[in-house]
Amino acid sequence: DVKVTQSSRYLVKRTGEKVFLECVQDMDHENMFWYRQDPGLGLRLIYFSYDVKMKEKGDIPEGYSVSREKKERFSLILESASTNQTSMYLCASSSTGPGNQPQHFGDGTRLSIL
Amino acid sequence: LAKTTQPISMDSYEGQEVNITCSHNNIATNDYITWYQQFPSQGPRFIIQGYKTKVTNEVASLFIPADRKSSTLSLPRVSLSDTAVYYCLVGVYNAGNMLTFGGGTRLMVKP
């Protein structure tokens, strides 16, 4: 089974802090994604990466950056955390294969910015 | 990207078959239809995927008519543990062509 592991289930930070969310997958997947999920808004894509050191903006990249130095690890960075970034953050990975390869998700990090 | 429309919520009882329909009128030729299940405080879990006709696995069946403008996720004999949000996605999981999760369908299974 594919395993996507997010470093923290719950995290509390203060406004203005630099926040790192880490995600690791164990299936040698090429693609990795970061989403946030808010009540009534569903999942929204922040950034994705289709290869090491490659990144592409999703729907809501403002206030975030990402890093992918190794294939298995994809980090989401909140440069200066703000209260409107309080949310559930979900990491996912997928293979680049024939047909359509589904995304596999971690269990999320519930981040609170005070 | 194809927009999807699915009911906001549905109720059912244990042991019943549940069918959740998703409309996707603008589906493109290369698009796949994928369904996810999400429990509270967990990430979405892949259930089933199809391109046309019918697909069945150990969890669910997916019915896709010839015009592919809609699809129906069928859950046989649901139990309380099937209470979750179900998302329908349409597209292709390739870099540069990302998918959007809509609001999903909140299924409540009652005893």
Domain hosting A28: range is 4-96+104-113
Using a CB-CB cut-off of 8 Å, the residues of chain A touching B94 are: 96
DSSP H or E run through B110 = strand B105-110
Q: What is the pLDDT of residue A114?
A: 96
Q: Distance from CA of residue B42 to its chain's centroid?
A: 17
Across A39-68, average pLDDT = 91
CA A34 from chain centre, in angstroms, equals: 3
What pLDDT, on the 0 to 100 scale, is given for residue A23? Answer: 97
Number of domains in chain A: 1
Q: Which residue of B has its CA nearest to A47?
A: B98
Ordered per-residue pLDDT tens for chain B, 111 residues: 568 899 999 999 999 999 999 999 989 888 889 999 999 888 999 999 999 989 999 999 999 999 999 999 999 999 999 999 999 988 876 645 566 777 799 999 999
Q: Which CATH number do you get for residue A38?
A: 2.60.40.10
Residues in B closer than 8 angstroms to A102, CB to CB, are 34, 46, 49, 93
Interchain CB distance below 8 Å, A103 and B93 = yes
Contacts of A53 in chain B (CB under 8 A): none
Query: What's the pLDDT tens digit per position in A85-110?
Result: 999 999 999 888 766 788 899 999 99
* Cβ neighbours for A12, distance < 8 A, ≥ 6 positions apart: A111, A112, A114
Taken in order of first residue, the domains within chain B and their CATH numbers are 9-110 (2.60.40.10)
Of B93, B102, B104, the CB nearest to A102: B93
